[in-house]
């Protein structure tokens, strides 16, 4: 199941959203590719699907889902997977992604991306389900790290180790959401640079960038504004370590006019250039430089979340006990 050619670096893209349909059709904006929310088009045969078909003739399309529920104990929804595969074939999607999470169980949909415990039992459960999904889709699955607001007492490994073992056992690939790393780092008081350095860089095929909401005691991944400087700093590090991957800006609430969205994603060009400069400058750098930068990013994360408040983030924000049956 080799897909190295379809996982090539597509450049800079944005999420395709309804308010921008006409602008994209009329102006052919200078973006490299578009990402769609899979579920918005799977059961759609009207105007949105007609517009998608036109855009897919002009730009590479990547599919990003929110309903696979790969971490659930409920059976995989094979009807959903069949429709997902059909859509991917129709629009010639470069790849199909979803999240390391669960969204429902026993016929109930939480309408949220819920975290899983990071332990061996959960790992083997996901490995089995990922293999089934990849067999059905006949392509490698791309999975995104979630933003999290709780941790589990049953977790026995870090999130980054969990992802590493997951891709080793399934050959799946990673969508590294840099903003999610930052949000979770603030909420659970870990070093986001350690996370970025620890994930398997050769399995990362895509980055997500987004804005979030800072509530003082914690951050929420809201996709409703500009990317903040500490997230850009983490992105530069991720680019440096991976050599670059397809980069997408998410903006799903308080959606601005397309030129504003376009301008925000184009900021990545400057950060890529800076990262490439750091890459050449750091050839002979020693380990002390890593500790300096690590402290700076972590300090930025902690100081950012304290806007309007002197309270530290709970460590973690919430801890619950759960077992995977």
The predicted model scores a pTM of: 0.86
150 within domain boundaries: yes
pLDDT higher than 90, residue 277:
no
Q: pLDDT band at 43, cuts 50/70/90?
A: confident
Structural domain includes residue 227: yes
Q: For residue range 145-186, list pLDDT tens digits in order.
A: 999 999 999 999 999 999 999 999 999 999 999 999 999 999
pLDDT (tens digit, 9 = 90+) per residue, 192-250?
999 999 999 999 999 999 999 999 899 999 999 999 999 999 999 999 999 999 999 99
Q: Is the pLDDT of residue 281 over 90?
A: no
| Statement: residue 24 has pLDDT above 70 | yes
Would you state the torsion angle of the CA atoms of residues 181, 185, 253, 140, taken in this order, to the nearest 10 degrees? Answer: 20
Report angle CA 260, 270, 234 to the nearest 5 degrees.
95
CB 314 within 8 A of CB 215: no
| Residue 115: inside a domain | yes
Q: List CB contacts of 219: < 8 A, sequence separation 6 or more.
A: 182, 183, 186, 187, 212, 213, 304, 305
Query: Quick check: is 325 in a domain?
Result: no
Calpha distance 181→209 (Å, rounded) = 10
Which residues have CB under 8 Å from 284's CB, separation 6+?
none
Is residue 298 in some structural domain? yes
pLDDT at 105: 67
| 4 domain residue, yes or no | no
Q: Which residue shows structure tokens 């790969």?
A: 70
* Residue 303: predicted pLDDT: 43
Extract the tokens encoding 113. 């991306």
6 within domain boundaries: no
pLDDT at residue 318, as a whole number:
44
Mean pLDDT within 6-32: 96
Q: What are phi and psi of 157, to 5 degrees?
A: -150, 165
Q: What are the residues facing 247 on neighbouring strands?
A: 12, 207
Is the peptide bond between 316 and the residue preceding it cis, with omega within 30 degrees of 0?
yes
In tens, the pLDDT along 67-81 reads 999 999 999 999 999
Structural domain contains residue 201:
yes
Mean pLDDT of the chain: 87
Whether the pLDDT of residue 286 is over 70: the answer is: no
Q: Which residue has the higher pLDDT, 203 or 287?
A: 203
- Which residues span the domain enclosing 254? 12-320
Contact 138, 2 (CB under 8 A): no
CATH number at residue 292: 3.20.20.150
The domain total for the chain is 1
């Amino acid at each position: 199941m080799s897909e190295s050619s379809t996982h090539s670096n597509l450049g800079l893209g944005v999420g395709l959203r309804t308010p921008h349909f006409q602008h994209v059709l009329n102006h052919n904006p200078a973006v490299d590719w578009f990402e769609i929310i899979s579920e918005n088009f799977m059961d759609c045969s009207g105007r949105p699907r007609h517009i998608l078909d036109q855009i897919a003739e002009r730009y590479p399309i990547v599919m990003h889902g929110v309903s696979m529920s790969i971490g659930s104990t409920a059976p995989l929804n094979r009807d959903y997977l069949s429709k997902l595969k059909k859509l991917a074939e129709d629009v010639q999607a470069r790849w199909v992604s979803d999240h390391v999470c669960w969204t429902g169980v026993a016929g109930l949909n939480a309408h949220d991306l819920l975290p899983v415990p990071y332990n061996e039992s959960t790992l083997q459960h996901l490995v089995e389900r990922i293999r089934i999904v990849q067999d059905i889709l006949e392509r490698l699955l791309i999975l995104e790290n979630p933003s999290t607001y709780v941790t589990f007492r049953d977790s026995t490994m870090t999130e980054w180790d969990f992802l590493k073992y997951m891709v080793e056992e399934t050959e799946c690939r990673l969508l590294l959401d840099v903003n999610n790393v930052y949000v979770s780092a603030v909420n659970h008081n870990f070093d986001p640079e350690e996370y970025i350095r620890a994930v398997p860089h050769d399995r990362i095929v895509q980055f997500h960038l987004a804005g979030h909401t800072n509530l003082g005691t914690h951050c929420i991944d809201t996709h409703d504004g500009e990317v903040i400087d500490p997230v850009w700093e983490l992105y530069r590090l991720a680019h440096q370590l991976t050599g670059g991957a397809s980069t997408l800006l998410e903006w799903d609430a308080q959606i601005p006019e397309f030129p504003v969205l376009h301008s925000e994603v184009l900021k990545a060009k400057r950060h890529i250039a800076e990262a490439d400069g750091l890459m050449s400058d750091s050839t002979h750098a020693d380990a002390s430089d890593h500790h300096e930068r690590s402290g700076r990013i972590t300090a930025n994360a902690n100081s950012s979340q304290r806007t309007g408040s002197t309270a530290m983030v709970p460590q973690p924000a919430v801890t619950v006990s759960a077992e995977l049956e």
